[in-house]
Amino acid sequence: MTARIEELGVELSGGVELSGAVEPELHACQVELISDVCEDVGEAIAALRSLRRMVLATGAGLLGSGTHPAAAEGDAAITDKERYERIRFLLGDAAVTPVAGLHVHVGMPDARTAIATFNGLREHLPLLQVLAANSPFRHGRDTGLASAREVSLRAWPRSGVPRALRDYEDFRGLARLLTRAGGVEDYTWFWWKLRPHPRLGTVEVRALDVQASLRDTAALVALVHCLARAAAQRRVQRPSPPELIEEGLFRAARFGVAAELPDGEGKLHPAAAVLEAALEAAEPHAAELGCVEQLGWVGELFAQGGGARRQRRVHEIAGMDALLRELIAVTADGGDAAISR
């Protein structure tokens, strides 16, 4: 965990044209892989695969998990960058544990559509957390959680689920209020699970643990893309309060695929039933968005228990060293040599 991106010793791009960029993250042992704008899920996964390979070519190792399973608390240095030093100052020890997320941006044609999509995707955040939970271990021990990343981030300010928004002006007013109260520059200092991103023209889902498997990544991106299209076309009549979604997110982080999630009335339903309803909403859009195959992998991901169950299975059989080797190997090869575009 003490390695730093600037110590790789090789120019990351290597003179090769890539569909994206590799940037430092908050902790010096992490890298952020940023794809260019992609037309569909297959293009995004191909870009991510090429970015991973480029980092691996430097001799560095990559480990795709929401938290490093074995690193000791306080083992990770903060990247020497003004923004990250400021985050460390503002958060104190809340920033001590590195966490790694999969952020999915969906392009929006206009502000009205962005707010409708934001409000609709809010309702699906607990289910998305169930599917993406991939961090049961932290500081060398089993936390009892499916996503220790989610629980770690609860110590950060402006990191939860915002209320539903009336319109874009409502978002601007809320952003002005929070930036003033938080003493920060703009909305990019909001670590919400979901946020409009007007600077990029997207709505950004931030509630997902990073995945070792590119197949799992493709499934999650396909589901987000399809649910975003569905949300853009159907206004939420009775948005759930933030407290209810937060309850669902904690249940998802605690129990993973075994979670029961609350509906808008607070009644609990098995995650399998919630997934069935979400897929019913998503599937009519998959063909148009070019992700029928990848959306079909969502059920497989759920049936296997997601990354959290896989990590526990390896650890139970062979211990922590074997788990680390497995995560590094799967992250390196994508977990499937035949990811389809």
> Is 337 a member of any domain?
no
> Is 151 a member of any domain?
yes
> Is 231 a member of any domain?
yes
Q: What is the CATH number of the domain that holds 225?
A: 3.30.590.20
> Is 336 a member of any domain?
no
Return all residues near 191 (Cβ < 8 A) that are at least 6 apart: 153, 156, 157, 158, 159, 206
pLDDT band at residue 6, thresholds of 50, 70 and 90? low
> Is 250 a member of any domain?
yes
> Is 139 a member of any domain?
yes
> Is 111 a member of any domain?
yes
What region does 269 belong to: left with phi over 0, alpha with psi -120 to 50, or beta?
beta
pTM of the model: 0.93
Q: Buried (b) or exposed (e) across 242-270, using 16+ Cβ within 10 A?
A: eebbbbbbbbbbbbbbebbbbeeeeeeee
Q: Does the structure show a pLDDT above 90 at 78? A: no
Number of domains in the chain: 1
Q: What is the mean pLDDT of the chain?
A: 92
> Is 251 a member of any domain?
yes
Rounded mean pLDDT of 163-173? 97
Give me the domain span that covers residue 276.
5-331
112-143 residue pLDDT tens: 999 999 999 999 999 999 999 999 999 999 99
12-34 residue pLDDT tens: 544 455 679 999 888 889 999 99
